């Protein structure tokens, strides 16, 4: 099976500071992978390397067997590499439909002078309607983003990610800032994503991680120190010492 995304020997240094060290991993269609580790481990830096926000000091990235290390961010998006961010980056005074339509128009390279009318173009409206319905968000279509609760805004970011037709979707702390009792809605939306997309999620909410992940990558001091199943990660001594600690004990006791 061809890897949708592969990192080979990726390292990143800023001056004498090594932030990422010799990282290797692969994502294939349908993967649901969590990237976890302590604060300062280099998780967001690794995502920035994958997306092209930062260039690696060493190593390469590949999609579908083709090297993408030197590609721009827009070129990676066009190849199907899409991310969300720790904090929302939505147009607060536009409607939910407008925000998703903008992503669709970007992908289709549709330009219109009057944006609001472009949202209702038949081919655009059909697509954002389907995406919002799929994620259970159809009733929010004509609400302005500024009127929505923060948890709802995080769900809109997922809708925008889908509008870009990802092959690989990188979720950078999708539950950040969301009240704990609303986190299940984030998980429900992620579970509704198309099954052929590879999803890599950074998240500190361990309950969410272990409900989502089929495979876990653990990063510490810029190195991947573990890769395995959720059950295996709680049993690993180095991971327990570096990050999970008492959480691993509690989970193994249940």
Q: List, for the chain, all residue ranges whose pLDDT scores fall below the cut of 70.
A: 1, 86-87, 112-116, 244-254
Residue-level pLDDT at 115: 58
pLDDT of residue 228: 93
Of 180, 179, 183, 181, give the one whose Cα is nearest residue 171: 183
Q: What is the pTM of this model?
A: 0.89
> CA quadruple 233, 4, 90, 152: dihedral positive or negative?
negative
- Report long-range pairs for 249-254 (Cβ below 8 Å, ≥24 apart): 251/206, 251/210
Q: For position 87, what pLDDT does the model report?
A: 66
The pLDDT assigned to 249 comes to: 52
175 vs 6: CA distance, rounded Å: 26
Q: Are strands 5-14 and 66-67 parallel, antiparallel or unpaired?
A: unpaired
Which alpha helices (DSSP H) does the chain contain, by range? 43-51, 73-78, 96-108, 115-119, 122-134, 150-163, 183-191, 206-212, 230-235, 237-239, 246-253
Q: Which residues of 190-213 are buried (b: 16+ CB within 10 A; e: fewer)?
A: beebeeebbbbbbbebbebbbebb
- Using DSSP's 3-state secondary structure scheme, residue 198 falls into strand
* pLDDT reported for residue 168: 97
| Rounded-to-5 percentages of helix, strand, coil across the chain | 40, 25, 35
Cα separation, 25 vs 240, in Å, equals 21
What is the three-class DSSP state of 20?
strand
d(CA 4, CA 78): 14
Beta strand pairing call for 32-36 and 215-220: parallel
Pairing verdict, β 32-36 and 168-172: unpaired
pLDDT at 112: 62
Query: Which fold, 5-90+167-253?
Result: Rossmann fold (3.40.50)
| Token output for 198 | 């590879």
Helix H or strand E encompassing 217:
strand 215-220
């Amino acid at each position: 099976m061809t890897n949708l995304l592969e990192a080979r020997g990726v390292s990143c240094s800023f001056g004498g500071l090594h932030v990422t060290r010799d990282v290797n991993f692969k994502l294939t269609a349908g993967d649901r992978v969590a990237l976890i580790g302590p604060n300062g481990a280099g998780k967001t830096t690794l995502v920035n390397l994958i997306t092209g926000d930062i260039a690696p000091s060493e190593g390469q990235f590949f999609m579908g067997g083709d090297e993408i290390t030197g590609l721009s961010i827009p070129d990676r998006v066009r190849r199907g590499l899409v991310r969300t961010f720790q904090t929302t980056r939505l147009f607060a005074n536009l409607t939910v439909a407008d925000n998703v339509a903008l992503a669709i128009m970007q992908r289709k390279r549709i330009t219109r002078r009057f944006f609001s009318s472009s949202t209702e173009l038949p081919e655009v409206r059909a697509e954002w309607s389907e995406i919002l319905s799929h994620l259970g968000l159809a009733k929010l279509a004509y609400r302005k983003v500024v009127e929505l609760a923060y948890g709802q805004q995080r769900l809109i970011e997922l809708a925008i990610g889908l509008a870009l037709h990802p092959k690989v979707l990188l979720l950078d702390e999708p539950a950040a800032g969301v009240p704990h009792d609303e986190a299940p809605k984030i998980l429900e939306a992620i579970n509704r994503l198309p099954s052929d997309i590879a999803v890599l999620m950074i998240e500190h909410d361990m309950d969410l991680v272990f409900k989502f992940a089929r495979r876990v990558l653990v990063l510490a001091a810029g190195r991947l120190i573990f890769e395995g199943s959720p059950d295996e990660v709680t049993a690993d001594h180095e991971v327990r010492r570096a990050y999970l600690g008492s959480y691993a004990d509690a989970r193994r006791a249940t």
